[in-house]
Amino acid sequence: NLNKKNFKQVNQELTQIISLYGLEAENQVLRCLLTEAAKTSWENDRPGPASSVHATLLAQYLSCLLNHPARSTVVCRIIDNPAKSVQKALKPTNTLLSRIARLLKFTTAQDVAFSLVLRKNSPKPEIVSFA
């Protein structure tokens, strides 16, 4: 269970797991973080306050990924293939990307980079059209 008290420890453990097991572990960690952030912040399909520790940790990881264009496919994978429990909340709509950016407290530059990564690399036409 991730919370404010164990945030630093969990972050270190996840970083260690990702370095040991590679890309698939990274995909799974990010997908789980997105799932938890979406669950806690978008109850009843409405955006809530971006105070979730899951959202904070996800934002840290995504910020790093957005700074490394070679790893941008990881970003696309977690948006294109969300966990079944949050597929409805993460259904591609014209507000999805702005909701994610608001949830993760992206700067304008991060928001633009996020949209460009999805526009360039997403295999789903509906995601590309909204990016």
Q: Which domain holds residue 77?
A: 7-130
* Residue ranges in the chain whose pLDDT is less than 50: 44, 47-50
pTM: 0.82
1 inside domain: no
pLDDT digits (tens, 9 = 90+) for 96-126: 888 889 888 899 999 999 999 999 888 888 8
Domain count, the chain: 1
Would you give the end-to-end CA distance of the chain in angstroms? Answer: 32
Q: Please report the pLDDT score of residue 50 as a whole number.
A: 40
2 in any annotated domain: no
Q: Assess if residue 21 is contained within a domain.
A: yes
